[in-house]
Chain A
Amino acid sequence: EPEVTQTPSHQVTQMGQEVILRCVPISNHLYFYWYRQILGQKVEFLVSFYNNEISEKSEIFDDQFSVERPDGSNFTLKIRSTKLEDSAMYFCASSEIGTGVYGYTFGSGTRLTVV
């Protein structure tokens, strides 16, 4: 069964550093998402991306964050100048179309620890 692949699985970074989280969505999917889960809390929507542009973003997704699809396969989340509160699990997801009719496929997540 096709998978969404996220790398790295764990990343530790120093406060103030930039990190890039990488995702390879399912090849025929057109809609891409990033979600965040602070430890012990619920999964929160960050951003959705379609046709090479952001289609929706949450209040969490401020100027510190950016997304990019640099080539035909990767989908990245960049966090500039990381803060301690950015420590969380970040999930990438993709879907064939933008509504839930075919569901969403999630990657296994990247656990980011900011020290």
Chain B
Amino acid sequence: AQKVTQAQTEISVVEKEDVTLDCVYETRDTTYYLFWYKQPPSGELVFLIRRNSFDEQNEISGRYSWNFQKSTSSFNFTITASQVVDSAVYFCALSEATGFQKLVFGTGTRLLVSP
């Protein structure tokens, strides 16, 4: 069965600090997809990134970067030079490639960035 673990419940940082959000997943499939979503206080789910299991290249998008390591089943998310607007709950999620597979979400990490 698929499972996503986000061990960090809440992280508090001061603006301009770098912060890494951890995500560990479990799946028996060899083909799967990993996602990160941001949920701001307004409640919607904002898509950040999708990564398939065959692409272990790290990705950078502005201040955001993602480190995917199959050897440790981890897909960690780093925000560089954090800003107050980054304050939100961040969810990691997994989708297996077989069938009509749903997304399985982690429990989320609440990030608080103070000025």
Contact = CB atoms under 8 A, between A and B. Distances in A.
A103 B36 CA distance: 11
B52 interface: yes
B82 interface: no
A76 to B, nearest CB: 18
A104 B103 contact: yes
Given A109-B43, A111-B43, A99 B102 contact: no
The number of chain B residues touching the other chain, given as a range, is 20 to 34
Contact of A100 (B45, B91, B95, B107): B95
A98 B100 contact: yes
A43 interface: yes
A54 to B, nearest CB: 10
Nearest to B106: A42
Interface string B82-102: 000000000101011111111
Interface of B: 32-33, 35, 37, 43-45, 47, 50, 52, 91, 93, 95-108
28 contacts: A31-B100, A42-B91, A43-B93, A43-B105, A44-B105, A50-B100, A55-B99, A56-B99, A56-B100, A89-B43, A93-B103, A99-B97, A99-B99, A99-B100, A99-B101, A100-B33, A100-B52, A100-B95, A101-B33, A101-B52, A101-B97, A103-B35, A103-B50, A105-B47, A106-B37, A106-B44, A108-B43, A109-B45
The 3 A-B pairs with the shortest beta carbon distances in the complex, nearest first, are A100-B33, A100-B95, A98-B100
